[in-house]
Amino acid sequence: AKKIKIAIDGPAGSGKSTIAQNLANLLNINYLNSGALYRIIGYYLNERKIDPKDSKIIENILEKLNIEIKNNRYFLDGKDVTITIKDSKIGDLASLYSKNNIVREKVNQIIKKIAEKDNIVVDGRDIGSVVLPDSDIKIYLTASLEERAKRRWNEEKEQKANISFTEILEEIKNRDYNDSNRSIAPLKPAQDAIIIDTTNLSIEEVLQKILKIVKESG
């Protein structure tokens, strides 16, 4: 049977993963966080001090790298790294190594393989535009820089007592810049994506909007 694919793309702090995860739960289908795959690879390559431009070494390493996903938990060579990779430093590493095309191909392969056999919601930067262009529904979530920074700050200030709002705002600004200006698969809405500005919307409101779109699509 044909598998349903829903792509949710957008910049850092747009609410993608929260929305995608909730949507998958409501529709009772799988959820895949493509950013987590970039984070795992970024983390692994950085630990080994690999030059992000050294495609040859990266290709060799990625061939042997074992990434598994079970019940929304992410495993690197058998070790559960779900929590480890959430750190914003690892997000920056993901962004750095995600510029390399070998890394992107590896991640895309994993996503495509999973999307072939399961109904799925995938979130990322280039899912609707590059990885799964035949997605049944493509959503591009966005929000003002200030709002996105505010959300991240609220998430992070509990664990990191001394992190300032300005620091997070700068981090997100940099990440936006890097992700939007790289040469391969830059962050941008797919031509046929439905853009939702979530600046003034609650999670519940965004979910309702998307559920309506899903229902109307048949």
Please report whether residue 94 would count as binding ligand C5P according to CB under 6 A. Answer: yes
CA atoms within 13 A on the CB side of 17: 11
- Please indicate if the annotation marks 78 as binding a ligand: no
Enter the tokens of residue 177.
């810049």
- How far, in Å, CA of 85 to CA of 87, rounded? 5
Q: Which is nearer to ligand C5P, 146 or 212 (CB)?
A: 146
Residue with token string 């779109």? 213
Please report whether residue 34 would count as binding ligand C5P according to CB under 6 A. Answer: yes
Q: Which of 95, 100, 129, 198 binds ligand C5P (CB under 6 A)?
A: 95
Q: Which of 147, 175, 207, 214 binds ligand C5P (CB under 6 A)?
A: 175
Please report whether residue 10 would count as binding ligand C5P according to CB under 6 A. Answer: no
Q: Which is nearer to ligand C5P, 18 or 119 (CB)?
A: 18
Q: Which is nearer to ligand C5P, 144 or 212 (CB)?
A: 144
In this structure, are strands 120-124 and 30-33 parallel, antiparallel, or unpaired?
parallel
Q: Which is nearer to ligand C5P, 110 or 214 (CB)?
A: 110
Q: Which is nearer to ligand C5P, 123 or 210 (CB)?
A: 123
- Please indicate if the annotation marks 142 as binding a ligand: no
**Closest residue to ligand C5P using C-beta atoms:** 35
Please report whether residue 108 would count as binding ligand C5P according to CB under 6 A. Answer: no
Q: How far is the CB of 218 from ligand C5P (least distance, A)?
A: 26
- Residues 139-158, mask of contacts with ligand C5P (x by CB under 6 A): --------------------
Q: Which is nearer to ligand C5P, 176 or 215 (CB)?
A: 176
Please report whether residue 39 would count as binding ligand C5P according to CB under 6 A. Answer: yes
SS3 labels along the chain: CCCCEEEEECCCCCCHHHHHHHHHHHHCCEEEEHHHHHHHHHHHHHHCCCCCCCHHHHHHHHHHCCEEEECCEEEECCEECCCHHHCHHHHHHHHHHCCCHHHHHHHHHHHHHHHHHCCEEEEECCHHHHHCCCCCEEEEEECCHHHHHHHHHHHHCCCCCCCCHHHHHHHHHHHHHHHHHCCCCCCCCCCCCEEEECCCCCHHHHHHHHHHHHHHCC
Which residues would be at the binding site for ligand C5P (CB under 6 A)? Answer: 12, 34-35, 38-39, 91, 94-95, 98, 124-127, 175, 179
Annotated binding site for ATP: 10-18
